[in-house]
């Protein structure tokens, strides 16, 4: 009498091969995915910088020089009134600072918040806009997607 055995399922070797393939795919895909997320989050900086530039032009229309960070973040109901902006981007990945506010220009620096994945965005953790006589100039041009 013959006993027929039907083996069903996976062998341990087959399972290990699948796990190894999934591991290699994950090791390749995850860094690329994170880089694309960081690149997409830079749109937060672009909108924040545009808002700062617009607020600066509003301020300059009524004052002898561009606003400092203190003027930008001071409440609109304060004495003297400020522009009521917050120094953090909408999603909280960047903070901004204003340096060199004068009658002819200023520099806005956006810095990735420590502890967020944007702080790992190589070469793009600090973005600057230098405005001279109303014309903006962008540093780290590879970080400004157009």
Question: Per residue in 63-106, pLDDT tens?
Answer: 888 888 888 888 878 777 888 888 888 888 888 888 988 889 99
Residue 124 in any domain: the answer is: yes
130 beta partners? 107, 137
Residue 20 in any domain: the answer is: yes
In this model, does residue 54 exceed pLDDT 80? yes
Domains: count for the chain: 1
**Global confidence as pTM:** 0.72
Residue 2 in any domain: the answer is: no
Q: pLDDT-derived band of residue 121, with 50, 70 and 90 as boundaries?
A: confident
Name the residue range of residue 113's domain.
12-143
138 beta partners? 129
Residue 1 in any domain: the answer is: no
| Per-residue pLDDT, 146 | 54
Q: pLDDT-derived band of residue 107, with 50, 70 and 90 as boundaries?
A: very high
| Per-residue pLDDT, 134 | 81
Residue 132 in any domain: the answer is: yes
Residue 19 in any domain: the answer is: yes
Residues ≥6 apart with Cβ < 8 Å to 98: 52, 66, 67, 68, 69, 72, 106, 107, 108, 109
109 beta partners? 97, 128
Residue 88 in any domain: the answer is: yes
* 4-27 pLDDT per residue, tens: 666 677 788 888 999 999 999 988
Residue 105 in any domain: the answer is: yes
- Listed as own residue / partner, the contacts of 94-101 with beta carbons closer than 8 Å and 24 or more positions apart are 94/44, 94/45, 94/48, 94/118, 94/127, 96/48, 96/49, 96/52, 96/69, 97/69, 98/52, 98/66, 98/67, 98/68, 98/69, 98/72, 101/65, 101/66, 101/67, 101/68, 101/71
Rounded Cα gap, residues 145 and 111, in angstroms: 17
Instruction: Give the residue carrying structure tokens 């996976």.
Output: 10
């Amino acid at each position: 009498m013959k006993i027929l055995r039907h083996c069903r399922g996976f062998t341990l070797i087959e399972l290990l091969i699948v796990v190894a393939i999934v591991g290699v795919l994950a090791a390749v895909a995850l860094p690329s995915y994170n880089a694309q997320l960081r690149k997409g989050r830079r749109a937060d900086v672009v909108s924040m910088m545009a808002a700062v530039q617009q607020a600066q032009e509003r301020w300059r229309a009524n004052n002898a020089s561009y606003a400092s960070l203190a003027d930008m973040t001071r409440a609109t109901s304060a004495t003297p009134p400020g522009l009521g902006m917050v120094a953090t981007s909408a999603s909280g990945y960047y903070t901004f600072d204003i340096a060199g506010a004068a009658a002819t220009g200023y520099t806005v620096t956006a810095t990735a918040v420590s502890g967020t994945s944007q702080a790992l965005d190589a070469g793009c953790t600090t973005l600057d806009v230098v405005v001279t006589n109303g014309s903006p100039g962008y540093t780290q041009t590879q970080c400004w997607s157009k």
